[in-house]
A and B are shown apart, each in its own frame.
Chain A
């Protein structure tokens, strides 16, 4: 079992709190991604698990054993970093065997492990080559191989793909996911790239200023963000946020964009969430670009006066399979991701429909989600 448990883990550099009282349970064999903008504490968290950073407060357990005072080499972990340097004078085999030789493993065991790892990574034919004879992707595989041969309980990966070009990064993303399936080992993976997080993680931890914002599987994170930060960080193009307030008219409740739009809140949401408490209060209205549609195209919901508004098209960005429309309505700016058949042109005032099933509102003060 290789659960990793963080209990009230805090890291301070002088007065600066880099990681603030984190509680996190990473389940055995899970692929957990720590994601957030630079300076959010994700690498510091990983380094504390690795033992490369002292823990100011709290405890970290690996497989039910508190490891706060256990040196990195005895934690049964292996790290893969962004900087995948290899010893240039050693061939691939010797680079992969290095850590095992260091730990005085018998020659036969070293051979078995290096060959097994080379098979898994598909680099068996490269074992005799020197690093300079390898491509970037092959070198990255060797760097992974150095970690795999150690057969650790937990892999710690710190932006391991960020030095690769875009195409290779996409390819290696898939390969790392497959590798995780094959190795059946816990992986903690740090990235600033939300696409990487969404495509690879079983669960994702979104961090900001050292504080965990939300821990969830990728779809839940996308569909049910807990606050404005998570809603804005996950998804590309990012969610549209518009200042608004909740108004009540009879039995009905509306999101009122201060006169620029008025959207009816579905009844099920009024019952289920605390919408009534927010009447006449400021909120942030959030809607993802793909949930703003061109009303001239038929969708699985009707566009009515209560879920639509008119806006001017400022920029049209054709992406091939879809079009991004950059819209302006008075002071509000937003992006719609519409179907390729949309005829919208720059300067047009077009009607846009909003899929009410997918809208969000957030408390303007706390930025926490209302629904």
Chain B
């Protein structure tokens, strides 16, 4: 049976509060008594009851992670990076899968309103609506946004510079000789999608290549959508010579369609995918991808949250991290 504060108090012959002070390294306990208490605690492998400790401190040591979707490998990367950082900071993570459903998100907010968690990270999804700002302002809840934009810049945010990723990818494809680069976007990403399109447009503009609306396919962002986008693009009178997919599922569907059509990458088409993970790593040839800094994003979001919970004033409200282009075989002309 687990040893309690009461048991140690009885064994040493002191009050429970003295044991608590000794274990929490607070003043007011004589050195001899303190050593006696600590030695018994060690001997019997005493561990404080986290729930009781939480009730006393009005802290749960739990944070909620609201994730926009859990279908893509990127989502898994975000979850694991946040969980790792949160655990290191002494927090456990409750996962709330929003599945792009606003009603579900609002329902999960109950966790914050009823103080079942100390704070929350909202990863991905549509523009942070007024319900999040309300929850933050009037409920005085600690809320951090990760890769989620907001109009009223009142919530601490950690985001990827999405235009930078597509800019780097497009520019790379142009330097490899591509002239008609198709862009596959995910309509669920809303403003983030627009940022990705703007990076693509900027690179085209800098290389005096006209933007061609026919080469931009906005879709559901699924594997099937990637597959169908290729079928649509290949039937154009002037089909693309390169592809840039802006999420990992689109990348997979696109590669499958190209291969199914009997084409070769990079011989027939140059290709840059999105996401550096297990899914995109299994293809031959190896894929050039835009890699988002998920580890750093997760770590920074947790840092923001723990700093906010500790009552620290954040030095900056918004941190933007750059993605990198991992150049492999799929985008290099032989």
Q: A79-B152, A102-B151 are in contact. Are A52 and B191 (CB under 8 A)?
A: no
A85 at the B interface (CB under 8 A) = yes
Task: Tell me the complex Cα distance, A89–B318, Å.
Answer: 10
Report whether A98 and B151 are in contact in the complex, using a CB–CB cutoff of 8 Å: yes
A266 at the B interface (CB under 8 A) = no
A47 at the B interface (CB under 8 A) = yes
Give residues of chain A (37-84) contacting chain B, Cβ–Cβ below 8 Å: 47, 51-54, 71-73, 79, 81, 83-84
Task: Tell me the complex Cα distance, A89–B319, Å.
Answer: 9
Task: Tell me the complex Cα distance, A47–B138, Å.
Answer: 9
**Top 3 A-B pairs ranked by shortest CB distance?**
A85-B153, A85-B317, A89-B320
Task: Tell me the complex Cα distance, A54–B153, Å.
Answer: 20
B163 at the A interface (CB under 8 A) = yes
As a 0/1 sequence over residues 153 to 188 of chain B, the CB contacts with chain A under 8 angstroms (1 = contact) are: 110000101011000000000000000000000000
Task: Tell me the complex Cα distance, A47–B139, Å.
Answer: 13
Report whether A102 and B127 are in contact in the complex, using a CB–CB cutoff of 8 Å: yes
Shortest B78–chain A CB gap in Å is 19
Task: Tell me the complex Cα distance, A71–B152, Å.
Answer: 14
Task: Collect the chain A residues with CB atoms within 8 Å of residue B133's CB.
Answer: 52
User: Closest chain B residue to A72 by CB distance?
Assistant: B130
Report whether B137 and A87 are in contact in the complex, using a CB–CB cutoff of 8 Å: no
As a 0/1 sequence over residues 75 to 108 of chain A, the CB contacts with chain B under 8 angstroms (1 = contact) are: 0000101011111110000000011011000000
Q: A52-B130, A99-B151, A101-B194 are in contact. Are A83 and B317 (CB under 8 A)?
A: yes
B134 at the A interface (CB under 8 A) = yes
Give residues of chain B (304-328) contacting chain A, Cβ–Cβ below 8 Å: 316-320
Report whether B318 and A85 are in contact in the complex, using a CB–CB cutoff of 8 Å: yes
User: B318 is contacted by which of A53, A81, A88 (Cβ under 8 Å)?
Assistant: A88
Report whether B152 and A47 are in contact in the complex, using a CB–CB cutoff of 8 Å: no
Give residues in A with beta carbon < 8 Å to B.
47, 51-54, 71-73, 79, 81, 83-89, 98-99, 101-102
Shortest B168–chain A CB gap in Å is 14
User: Closest chain A residue to B133 by CB distance?
Assistant: A52
Task: Tell me the complex Cα distance, A171–B232, Å.
Answer: 58
Task: Collect the chain B residues with CB atoms within 8 Å of residue A101's CB.
Answer: 191, 194
Report whether B318 and A51 are in contact in the complex, using a CB–CB cutoff of 8 Å: no
Task: Collect the chain A residues with CB atoms within 8 Å of residue B151's CB.
Answer: 98-99, 102
User: Closest chain A residue to B136 by CB distance?
Assistant: A52
Report whether B153 and A86 are in contact in the complex, using a CB–CB cutoff of 8 Å: yes
Task: Collect the chain B residues with CB atoms within 8 Å of residue A85's CB.
Answer: 153-154, 317-318
Q: Could you say which of A53, A71, A83, A85 has the most chain B C-beta atoms within 10 Å of its C-beta?
A: A85
Q: A102-B151, A102-B191 are in contact. Are A89 and B164 (CB under 8 A)?
A: yes
Report whether A81 and B152 are in contact in the complex, using a CB–CB cutoff of 8 Å: yes
Q: A47-B137, A52-B138 are in contact. Are A87 and B130 (CB under 8 A)?
A: no
Q: List 10 A-B contacts (CB under 8 A).
A: A47-B138, A51-B130, A52-B137, A73-B130, A84-B153, A85-B153, A85-B318, A88-B320, A101-B191, A102-B127
Task: Tell me the complex Cα distance, A98–B153, Å.
Answer: 11
Task: Tell me the complex Cα distance, A89–B149, Å.
Answer: 12
Name the prevailing secondary structure of the A interface residues: loop
Task: Collect the chain B residues with CB atoms within 8 Å of residue A87's CB.
Answer: 149, 153, 159, 318, 320
9 extra A-B contacts, CB within 8 A, seeds A81-B154, A102-B191: A47-B138, A52-B134, A52-B137, A71-B130, A84-B153, A85-B317, A87-B159, A101-B191, A102-B127
User: Closest chain B residue to A80 by CB distance?
Assistant: B152
Q: Could you say which of B152, B316, B318 has the most chain A C-beta atoms within 10 Å of its C-beta?
A: B152
Task: Tell me the complex Cα distance, A53–B133, Å.
Answer: 10
Task: Tell me the complex Cα distance, A47–B163, Å.
Answer: 34
Q: A52-B134, A53-B137, A102-B127 are in contact. Are A83 and B318 (CB under 8 A)?
A: no
Task: Tell me the complex Cα distance, A81–B152, Å.
Answer: 9
Task: Tell me the complex Cα distance, A47–B152, Å.
Answer: 13
User: Closest chain A residue to B164 by CB distance?
Assistant: A89
Task: Collect the chain B residues with CB atoms within 8 Å of residue A53's CB.
Answer: 134, 137-138
Shortest A151–chain B CB gap in Å is 15
Task: Tell me the complex Cα distance, A43–B99, Å.
Answer: 34
Shortest B322–chain A CB gap in Å is 9
As a 0/1 sequence over residues 240 to 257 of chain B, the CB contacts with chain A under 8 angstroms (1 = contact) are: 000000000000000000
Shortest A69–chain B CB gap in Å is 13
Task: Collect the chain B residues with CB atoms within 8 Å of residue A79's CB.
Answer: 152
Shortest A193–chain B CB gap in Å is 20
Shortest B204–chain A CB gap in Å is 17
Task: Collect the chain B residues with CB atoms within 8 Å of residue A99's CB.
Answer: 151
Shortest B68–chain A CB gap in Å is 17
Task: Tell me the complex Cα distance, A30–B191, Å.
Answer: 35
Task: Collect the chain B residues with CB atoms within 8 Å of residue A89's CB.
Answer: 159, 161, 163-164, 320
Task: Collect the chain A residues with CB atoms within 8 Å of residue B163's CB.
Answer: 89
Q: Could you say which of A52, A54, A81, A98 has the most chain B C-beta atoms within 10 Å of its C-beta?
A: A52
Task: Collect the chain A residues with CB atoms within 8 Å of residue B320's CB.
Answer: 87-89
Task: Tell me the complex Cα distance, A47–B130, Å.
Answer: 12
Task: Collect the chain B residues with CB atoms within 8 Å of residue A54's CB.
Answer: 138
Shortest B97–chain A CB gap in Å is 25
Shortest A54–chain B CB gap in Å is 8
Task: Collect the chain B residues with CB atoms within 8 Å of residue A71's CB.
Answer: 130
Shortest A351–chain B CB gap in Å is 50
Task: Tell me the complex Cα distance, A108–B153, Å.
Answer: 25
Task: Collect the chain A residues with CB atoms within 8 Å of residue B154's CB.
Answer: 81, 83, 85
Task: Collect the chain B residues with CB atoms within 8 Å of residue A86's CB.
Answer: 153, 318
User: Closest chain B residue to A43 by CB distance?
Assistant: B137
Shortest A216–chain B CB gap in Å is 29
Give residues of chain B (65-103) contacting chain A, Cβ–Cβ below 8 Å: none
